[in-house]
Amino acid sequence: MDTYVNGYDSGIFTDYSGWGAVGGFLIGIVLIVVLIASVIWILTVIGKWKLLTKAGEKGWKAIIPIYDTYTLCQITGVNPIWVLITICGSMVGAIFPILNIVAYALSIYFMILLSVSVAKSFGKESGYAAGLIFLAPIFYLMLGCGKSTYVGKKPMNDVILNLFNQNKANPNPENPSAQNVPNATIVTEEANPNATVNFCPDCGTKLSETDRFCPNCGKAR
């Protein structure tokens, strides 16, 4: 016998058929998402496999995550250190959420850097990189299975690492030639080992070949 609470059938609180339908629907959605993700991954792997083969690398490297990106860096001339930078950036961002913006920015920069370099290394214009970023499965398939050929390492100009290396090589940016002054002096002196050195007979000041008078005491040569 059904019971009623305030005019409503209390059986709705013990009938789980509705929840079962909702659960089945959610499971179906998850399966569809997994299926789509699997198809995208398979197509991308096929494209990268063919791509690596054209560049003389083993195609199976496209199957291994991270290692496939590292291999793409090798064949395009991009510094592989970027793989480590992005991984470390993600880990740091997970520990310190405030740094997530920096981690995302570095990841986006590396994605653009690698995509442009891949496009150029296979004879495509830089604009082709947009397809590799937003429609990776299709454009990697086109690049790998199409008529494009590997033309060698053509890396995009890495502004960040170049700036870092420049600052490391020249720790005094306000006077970029300062570190080269001693070497320049040595080269000048070694270039003329037989040059005659003159000194003032009165005060002993070193005189150049063009000095007619001592710059210290004024004595004539």
Cβ–Cβ contacts within 10 Å for residue 160, how many?
14
- Taking CB atoms within 8 Å and a gap of at least 24, the contacts of 50-55 are 50/141, 50/143, 50/144, 50/145, 51/118, 51/122, 51/140, 51/143, 51/144, 53/144, 54/122, 54/144, 54/148, 54/149, 54/150, 55/121, 55/150
For the chain, what's the residue count? Answer: 221
For 188, phi and psi rounded to 5 degrees?
A: -65, -45
pLDDT score for 165: 84
pLDDT score for 189: 43
Indicate the pTM of the whole model. Answer: 0.68
pLDDT score for 24: 82
pLDDT score for 196: 58
The sign of the dihedral angle between the CA atoms of 157, 158, 159, 162 is negative
pLDDT score for 212: 66
pLDDT score for 186: 40
Q: Which of 207, 87, 96, 76 is nearest to 154 (CA)?
A: 76
Q: What tens-digit pLDDT sequence spans the chain (221 residues)?
A: 454 555 455 554 455 566 777 788 889 899 999 999 999 999 999 999 999 999 999 999 999 999 999 999 999 999 999 999 999 999 998 898 888 999 999 999 999 999 999 999 999 998 999 999 999 999 999 999 999 999 999 999 999 999 888 877 666 655 555 455 444 444 444 445 555 557 666 666 676 766 666 666 556 66
Query: What are the domain boundaries of the chain?
Result: 31-165
